[in-house]
Amino acid sequence: MNAEIGEVETPRDDTTVVVGAGARFEGLLSFWGRARIEGCLRGDVAADGVLEVGPDALLHARVEVDVLVVEGLVEGDVVVRERLEIRPGGRVTAAVATPRLVLAEGGSLEGRLVMTRRANAPDAATASAASAA
């Protein structure tokens, strides 16, 4: 174990963090991997991974994640680095920035949407220079 005193190393796997149905969480939720919200979360979410918001969940937060899958209600400011997926019954009322949006029939998005460039996507100048060479 190479951790400093007071720190715990955990293996990087597909660990799931859950805020269960009926549970309320206020504050900062930070994780890597996969997390699912079934209850109510107010505050901030910062993650390297996938956040799923269940059908009866309420997420009122500033969110920054790789992938966000919404079946419940999300309110706040949302930055998604890879893909935002709003499933049937899912509602997002937020200022959203994402490079990819999947909006299923029966899902809704209300607010401001900014389609961003993927973090690993080459910009037009780089692509033009590469093809010219």
Has residue 110 got a pLDDT over 90?
Answer: yes
Helix intervals (H) in the chain: 124-132
Ordered by start, the domain boundaries in the chain are 16-132
pLDDT band at residue 118, thresholds of 50, 70 and 90? confident
Q: Are 51 and 63 in contact (CB under 8 A)?
A: yes
Residues 6+ apart with CB under 8 A from 64: 45, 46, 47, 78, 79, 80, 81
Has residue 50 got a pLDDT over 50?
Answer: yes
Instruction: State both tokens at 37.
Output: 């919200």
Has residue 81 got a pLDDT over 70?
Answer: yes
Q: How far apart are CA 118 and CA 81, in angstroms?
A: 7
Q: For 9-13, 59-63, 77-81, 100-104, which range has the lowest pLDDT when averaged over its residues? A: 9-13
Instruction: State both tokens at 63.
Output: 């969110």
Q: Are 109 and 103 in contact (CB under 8 A)?
A: yes
